[in-house]
């Protein structure tokens, strides 16, 4: 039976694929976007595209009435500019206030959705070295960890009105179209690729198709609640990650990028890039999810042909 689903952040990296997957399986999707006309061009088969300013819920909250699910992916991209106090304020507000206003809108509905699925990130854990991290592991002590905590806390508030909530702590999403993998491709193609930092840190990755399927799984699986790690069951050390990418591209992996160079180039955000996060996905697997891509080389070959 088809569902009626609101998606925010629909034109982003995950949102584009998720909305198309929902439409393909027969769901009626209402796209919330800062640019409704752009969203219409992206998703001509969507049920509706709504102009969405998270600061003004009175303009859109009635659209949530009689929906089955709300999926919240919106948030300012962490890497669009160098971090400073003003940009960090915008990053936090774009997640905290947008989530708060969505939750309040859901609470005000006469006919509420069954589930609220909100994005989060493995940045919640900070830099944890060799520690295997499950959903009960402690929060980190850096800016991104604080952002994720606030983000998730606002999401959980929806449970006060009897709505199930899931907070998806996403690893490094691999797609050739955008994101981390795209940034890594050019140096390797120019024969100057290599690992980041000392290469010993754990990189918890997943294929774009898997993160889309995990969101569908979270929408459909009524027993799934709370925080949920979303990453491949096989994290790799950064040096091995770079060597695998080099092998797939038939290029060498010879030129590591030292920490101080990354710091010069991207500033404070380099701490996020270099963080070691070894993610445990036992909760996801035990909920019945089956990965499409468990092995990095398979994922890269699929994405890069």
- Check residue 64 and give its pLDDT: 97
pLDDT band at 270 (very low <50, low <70, confident <90, very high): confident
- Gyration radius from the chain CA atoms: 19
- Check residue 305 and give its pLDDT: 81
- Check residue 140 and give its pLDDT: 97
Mean pLDDT for 59-63 is 95
Which two tokens mark 31? 């796209």
3-state per-residue secondary structure call for 172-223: EEECCCCHHHHHHHHHHHCCCCCCECCCCCEECEEEHHHHHHHHHHHHHCCC
Closest by alpha carbon to 158, among 122, 120, 214, 108?
Answer: 108
- Check residue 262 and give its pLDDT: 80
Which residue(s) pair with 202 in the sheet?
Answer: 237
What 8-state DSSP symbol labels residue 47? S
- Check residue 219 and give its pLDDT: 98
Class of domain 4-173+206-231: alpha beta
Domain boundary assignment for the chain: 4-173+206-231
Which segment, 80-84, 206-210, 251-255, is predicted with the most confidence on average? 206-210
Which residue(s) pair with 205 in the sheet?
Answer: 172
- Check residue 247 and give its pLDDT: 96
110 to each of 61, 62, 63, 65, 67, how far by Cα in Å?
A: 12, 10, 12, 7, 11
pLDDT band at 265 (very low <50, low <70, confident <90, very high): confident
Which two tokens mark 48? 């509706």
**pLDDT at residue 69 greater than cutoff 80:** yes
């Amino acid at each position: 039976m088809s569902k009626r689903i609101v998606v925010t952040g629909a034109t982003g990296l995950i949102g584009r694929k998720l909305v198309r997957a929902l439409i393909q399986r027969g769901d009626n999707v209402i796209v919330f976007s800062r640019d409704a006309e752009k969203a219409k061009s992206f998703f001509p088969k969507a049920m509706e595209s709504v102009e969405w300013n998270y600061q003004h819920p009175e303009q859109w909250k009635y659209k949530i009435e009689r929906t089955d699910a709300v999926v919240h992916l919106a948030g300012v991209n962490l890497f669009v500019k160098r971090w400073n106090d003003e940009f960090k304020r915008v990053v936090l507000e774009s997640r905290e206030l947008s989530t708060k206003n969505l939750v309040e809108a859901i609470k005000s509905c006469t006919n509420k959705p069954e589930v609220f699925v909100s994005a989060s990130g493995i940045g919640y854990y900070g830099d944890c070295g060799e520690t295997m991290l499950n959903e009960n592991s402690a929060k980190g002590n850096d800016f991104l960890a604080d952002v994720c905590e606030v983000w998730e806390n606002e999401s959980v508030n929806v449970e006060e009105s009897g709505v199930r909530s899931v907070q998806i702590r996403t690893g490094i999403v691999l797609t050739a179209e955008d994101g981390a993998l795209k940034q890594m491709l050019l140096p390797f193609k120019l024969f100057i690729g290599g690992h980041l930092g000392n290469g010993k840190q754990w990189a918890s990755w997943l294929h774009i198709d898997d993160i889309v399927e995990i969101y569908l799984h979270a929408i459909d699986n009524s027993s799934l609640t709370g925080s949920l790690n979303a990453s491949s069951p096989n994290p790799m050390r950064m040096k091995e990650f770079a060597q695998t990418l080099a092998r797939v591209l038939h290029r060498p992996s010879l030129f590591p990028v030292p920490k101080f160079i990354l710091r010069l180039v991207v500033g404070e955000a380099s701490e996020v890039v270099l963080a070691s996060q070894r993610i445990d996905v036992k909760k996801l697997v035990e909920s019945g999810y089956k990965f499409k891509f468990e092995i990095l080389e398979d994922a890269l070959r699929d994405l890069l042909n």
